[in-house]
Structure 1
Amino acid sequence: MFIRRVARALRRNTILILVCLAVALGGAYVLTEQQTPRYESTVRVVVSAAAAPADAAESDGEQNDGSGAGAGPISEERAATYAEVVTSQVLASRVASRLLGDPSYRGESDLDGDVLLNQVSAGAVPGSAVLEIRVTDPDPATAQVIAQTYAEELVATATDIETGGLGTAEDPGFTVIDFASFDDEPVSPRPFDTLLLAAGAGLLLGLLLTGLREALMTSVRTGEEVTALIDAPVLATIAYESPASRRKLVTELDQHSPRVEGFRALRTGVQFADPDAPHKLIAVTSCQAEEGKSSTAVNLALTLSRAGVRTLLVDGDLRRPQVADTFDIDGSAGVTTVLLGKVDLADAIWTHPDTGLAVLPSGVVPPNPAELLQTQAMSQLLERLRSDHEVVVVDCAPLNPVTDAALLAARADGVLLVVRHARTTKDQLRSAVERLRQVGAAPMGVVMNAVPLRRRDSAAYGGYQRYDARDKPKKSSRKVG
């Protein structure tokens, strides 16, 4: 379960992760292109113990074998000490003065010790008496010249230090063992390493933002989230379609499209919700407005009617009725006018020519919808409609803003709750179910609306073409279930 949740979170945030990766790689590329390449030259100097009197040398033979290249503890300590000398201002000034007089030097003409200190580093090789000097420069040949000069000046400076500037013949024990290296491969920038590091940083940022977004996300996105919040199954998933396609009825769409298949699945769920009930009154509502309850009610009724079920669609949203506009019919005669006795029920019902679906619009919008829905006349009207049809689908107002839907749900056999993907919040869903419980009702099922269709699902719909004989209009009036 945890792995599936992580996989879904990664799929939902794929674009975010890719954007972070692209930004990191793009920034690293720009930074790399703007950097001046720098080349490195390395020179090594071996440091042995300083020369000593003969009797001292004999008594300390284990520390220095007389070769001048011993790697005893004294030599290692001296190498570490002279690593600090390499990065001193005095040595940098001596090297700068010598370089400015060297015809092989092709670097800056205003070279001084401060500039060199930013280019040189030194360190003793662990476990040995070798001192390694590293110099970087935008030109590999110049880096080589500076490194060689540094090694030679270090030997001269060390001689002055060890002999007290007297120039005695005593050997101070410093030897350049490798000439400064030449390498035309830059040590910085390294595009591959930089881009690899940037890719890792971009992915890490994308994952962190994904986790933060998932933690802060309050909207419902999956059927698993719905069933974890409320005790109701997800009867169908209606695929997201463009606004132009959503305004179309299922009778106007390709009968093998994902949207039509979703309403077929909803029809099956409704029919088998209570197979022993010959007459059903189903209230269709949502938590908030603009979640697709009206289109769900209309297309569910059409799908039932296409399957030969004697179905009536009632517009019970007396505040913002949508059914009449959906079918492009006159909605002035309907529920309210029938309740007030101004129009006979038979005259207020319109029949859809293609499917035989009976439609009862809302009628004139009343000033007191909630009071009108609570009347005895409304109860009698619903019972009459239920007895005359196998299924009555009532499009209700949203649950949370007003009480209208709860009043109709109390008289219904079942309630379909429409939840819009990534819009309906978890708190809104809990609040809607609580309103139903207050009137003794409960959702028979949930319809997940406007769910993005994955590419492989779309391909499956296109490849699995089948003819559903139940979608052909029938004259029989068989009972549901």
Structure 2
Amino acid sequence: MELSQCIALLRKRWPWFVAFTVAGVAAFGVMTYFTTPVYEARAQVFVSLRSSDNTVELMQGGNYTAKQVASYTELVTSPRVLDPVIDELGLDESAGSLAARIQADTPKDTVLINIVVSGEVPTEAAEIADATAQSLSDLVTEIEQPQEGGDSPVELSVVREAAVPTSLVLPNTRLNLLLGGMIGLVVGFGVVLLRERLDTRIRSHEDLRTVTDASVIGMVTYDEHAPDHPLIVEESPQSPRAEALRRVRTNLQFITLDAERRTLVMTSAIPGEGKSTTSINLAITMADAGSRVLLVDADLRRPSVSKYMGLEATVGLTTVLIGRIEFPGAIQPWGNKNLHVLPSGVIPPNPSELLGSARMTELLDQLAAEYDVVIVDTAPLLPVTDAALLARIAGGAVVVVGAGTVHRLQLAEAIYTLETVGAPVHGIVLNRMPADERSGDSYRYYEYEPETPEGPPKGRIGLRQRGIWPGPKPDLPKHRRSGVDSDQRRPPEDHPAQDHGSDLAPASSGMSALEQSGDPTMEQKV
């Protein structure tokens, strides 16, 4: 992994790294708290020969002493040295356990012996160090005594008595916490890296590039309230998600389609990626731009367009396909006069046969001749073949990819399904993208509140009056009750549904911002 990729991973998953680092520090902090404190006391012994007036004897004695120092150092932890110490201090331990607490070493090119004793009690450690040094001196004097009698030629002198230690040797709190943080950071990086390698879900534009070369025509941020408020272009026309959908609309204009058939089949790999809400909002943005748009709910498995848009779904596409009614009688106007909807109709037992029939091909030709753009919302590609059949008829499809929802293998299989039937992918809409705070700031710079001193109220109040916003209507003053009632979202029985210019069609918020307020800055924005 390159350095840039590591930095990108750190920025993307920094809460994980922080959590693991804090956990490492906490774990080592707990371990430090429960670690038994250890003190060290140090005594020092000097090894020498007894004084002599002969220079030659002094040189020979010095060489002898240097050679013997290593042996004397090994004697420090022997039972003959430690047993007297245990008896003198009344210690409740064996010579072996006491030897584990004592270390002896000789600095290079010296005749000094350092005796280091560790213990939980500072005073006890100092007493053991002094007693061990004295016991070693007595033992060397005894074993070095000549056989013919007399004084030992070797003399061990305690040149540094042990001081009572005041600082801990173990645990080293600062070192432990630093080590815990480093270990936590390394473990966190390993876990995050392993998770990234094992997680095959599509999360970014880079992940898409590993699956397909199809153009990404838009990225729409995630909104957890989208299922409850799907008409984001109507409810929050200046939100980042609405702006992203307008960019999708703009990018679709550059896609090479048959000039005589501008039919967009909207689909996804699996359910739950947001294809229906994307189709609805895309249709609204295109209608707001002045195009005559027809939105067809061709998801005959789980239709949702009519539910989201508040339309009657019993008469629709299936009714037309079985020949009970002509398509103008099943189409319902919505919003301004540019947007019309063909609901799904009654769910049939054979959706694939109906959508793949010659009648469906003929119907799409007729609809394409009547409208500037026909947007067809279909079922996901992997569960059923409906979308592949319609994409083949229409000559391609726009695939909605839910970030964090679909896996790479699933998307690859969906793309392959379209390629198998000869339907190209016109573009990909990356939906449910995590919100970027920086881009959110740039959007908020351009947000505005249009002044509407006259005309129907806008925003949520106007949406409630037109039956678009869920919930009860607010109790408004009489001078603001000029909105269209919610029961006028579809024409009554004495007004044929095919009368697309009916005055009962409510105006969408996008067009009302242009036509009713007359604010030129708003026109430039849209």
Aligned to 2:304: 322
Change in Cα spacing, 1:231 to 1:89, as seen in structure 2 (3 Å) is same
1:34 equivalent in structure 2:
34
Secondary structure of 1:446's counterpart equals strand
Deviations 1:204-245 (A, max 9, x none): 111111221122121111112212321212111111111456
The one-character-per-residue Cα deviations of 1:420-450 (angstroms, maximum 9, x if unpaired) are 1122111111111111111111211111111
> C-alpha separation between the residues in 2 aligned to 1:355 and 1:178?
103
Q: 1:5 matched to which residue of 2?
A: 5
- Aligned pairs for 1:131-280 within 5 A: 131-163=113-145, 168-243=150-225, 247-274=229-256, 277=259, 279-280=261-262
> What is the SS of the residue equivalent to 2:393?
coil
What amino acid sits opposite 1:43 in the alignment?
A
Distance 1:166 1:235 in 2: 106
Residues 225/166 of structure 1: CA separation in 2 closer, same or farther (3 Å cut):
farther
CA shift, 1:246, in A, is 5.9
User: 1:393 aligns to what SS in structure 2?
Assistant: strand
1:159-195 CA-partner distances (Å, limit 9, x unpaired): 2222279974133142322221333111111111100
- Report what 1:479 is aligned to: none
| CA distances 1:130-153 after superposition (whole Å, capped 9, x unpaired) | 221111222222222221111111
> Per chain length, whose mean CA-contact separation is higher, i.e. which structure has more relative contact order (CA < 8 Å, sep 6+)?
1
8 Å Cα contact 2:401/2:428 also seen in 1: yes
Once residues 347 and 78 of structure 1 are traced to their aligned partners in structure 2, the CA distance between those partners, rounded to angstroms, is: 115
Partners of 1:116 and 1:399 in 2: CA distance = 76
- Alpha-carbon distance, 1:360 to partner: 0.8
Match of 1:287 in 2: 269
Q: Taking structure 1 as reference, are residues 310 and 117 closer, same or farther at Cα in structure 2, changes over 3 Å only?
A: same
Equivalent residue number for residue 440 of structure 1 = 422
1:297 aligns with 2:279: yes
Change (3 A) 1:274 1:39: same
Does the Cα contact within 8 Å between 1:278 and 1:390 map onto a contact in 2? no
2:394 is paired with a residue whose SS is coil
SS of aligned partner of 2:213: coil
Do the aligned partners of residues 45 and 355 (structure 1) sit closer, same or farther apart at CA in structure 2, a change above 3 Å counting? farther
Shift of 1:12: 3.6
Change in CA separation of 1:466 and 1:405 when aligned onto 2, cut-off 3 Å: same
> Residue 75 of structure 1: CA displacement?
4.5
Number of the residue aligned with 1:88:
78
Report the CA distance shift for 1:333/1:166 in structure 2 as closer, same or farther (over 3 A).
farther
Unaligned regions of 5+ residues in structure 1, if any?
Answer: 101-108, 476-481
Closer, same or farther: CA 379–191 of 1 in aligned 2, 3 Å: same
Which runs of structure 1 show a deviation greater than 6 angstroms over 4 or more consecutive aligned residues? Answer: 51-55, 164-167
CA change 1:126–1:58 in 2 (3 A) is: closer
- Indicate the residue corresponding to 2:45 in structure 1: 45
SS at match of 1:433: helix
Whether the 8 Å contact between 2:269 and 2:406 is mirrored in structure 1 is yes
Q: Residue 261 of structure 2 contacts residue 365 of structure 2 at CA under 8 Å; is this kept in 1?
A: no
- Is residue 2:77 matched to residue 1:79? no
> Compared with structure 1, are the counterparts of its residues 261 and 87 closer, same or farther at alpha carbon in structure 2 (3 Å cutoff)?
farther
What amino acid is the match of 2:36?
Answer: T
TM-score by length of 2: 0.80
Q: Which residue of 1 aligns with 2:444?
A: 462
Q: Secondary structure at the match of 2:154?
A: coil
Separation of aligned partners in 1, 2:127 and 2:365: 102
Please identify, of 9-18 and 32-41, the stretch whose mean Cα deviation from structure 2 is larger.
9-18
CA RMSD after TM alignment = 2.8
Kept in 2, the 8 Å contact 1:333–1:364? The answer is yes
**C-alpha distance in structure 2 between counterparts of 1:127 and 1:215, whole Å:** 57
Distance 1:159 1:414 in 2: 102
Q: After superposing the two structures, state which structure 1 stretch, 81-90 or 360-369, moved more.
A: 81-90
What is the number of equivalent residue pairs in this alignment? 456
2:303 counterpart SS class:
coil
AA aligned to 1:151 is: A
Deviations 1:274-330 (A, max 9, x none): 388365111111111111111111111112112222111111111111111111221
* Shift in CA distance, 244/291, structure 1 to aligned 2, threshold 3 Å: closer
Q: SS at the partner of 1:42? A: strand
Aligned to 1:106: none
Indicate if the aligned counterparts of 2:80 and 2:139 stay in contact, CA closer than 8 A: no
Tell me the alpha carbon deviations over residues 370-402 of structure 1, each in whole angstroms, 9 at most, x when there is no partner. 111121110010011111111111111111121
2:95 pairs, out of 106, 113, 117, with 113
Single out whichever of 246-255 and 34-43 deviates more from structure 2. 246-255
**Distance change in 2, residues 1:346/1:164 (3 Å):** farther
What is the deviation of 1:78? 3.0
Q: 1:249 to 1:3 in 2, by over 3 A?
A: farther
Amino acid at match of 2:69: A
Long gaps (5+) in structure 2: 451-508, 516-526
CA distance in 2 between partners of 1:165 and 1:405 (Å): 109
Aligned to 2:368: 386
The superposition leaves residues 239-271 of structure 1 with CA deviations (integer Å, 9 ceiling, x where unpaired) of 111145664312343333222122122111112
Most deviating of 230-239 and 449-458: 449-458
CA positional deviation for 1:460: 2.8
**Cα pair 2:334 2:340 within 8 Å, conserved:** yes
- Partners of 2:27 and 2:40 lie apart in 1 by 25
Aligned to 1:360: 342
SS in 2 for 1:411: helix
What is the rounded CA distance, in whole Å, between the counterparts of 1:88 and 1:376 in structure 2?
Answer: 102
Which TM-score applies when normalising by structure 1?
A: 0.87
Identity of aligned residues (%): 34
Tell whether the 8 Å contact from 2:141 to 2:152 is kept in structure 1 after alignment: no
2:491 counterpart residue number: none
> Aligned to 1:410, what secondary structure does the other structure show?
helix
Partner Cα distance (1:34, 1:300) in 2: 62
Matched-pair contact (CA < 8 Å) for 2:260–2:369: no
From the superposition, tell whether residues 164 and 193 of structure 1 become closer, same or farther in structure 2 (CA, over 3 Å).
Answer: farther
TM-superposition CA deviations, 1:72-105 (whole Å, max 9, x none): 5x555433333322222332221111123xxxxx
Change (3 A) 1:75 1:361: farther
Instruction: In structure 2, give the amino acid aligned to 1:395.
Output: D
Shift of 1:16: 2.5
Query: CA separation of 1:286/1:91 partners in 2, compared to 1, >3 Å: closer, same or farther?
Result: same
| C-alpha distance in structure 2 between counterparts of 1:167 and 1:98, whole Å | 28
Does the CA-based 8 Å contact 2:395-2:424 persist in structure 1? no
**Maintained 8 Å contact 2:82/2:135:** no
The one-letter amino acid paired with 2:296 is V
Are 1:160 and 1:166, in contact at CA under 8 Å, matched by a contact in 2?
no
What residue identity is the alignment partner of 2:83?
Answer: S
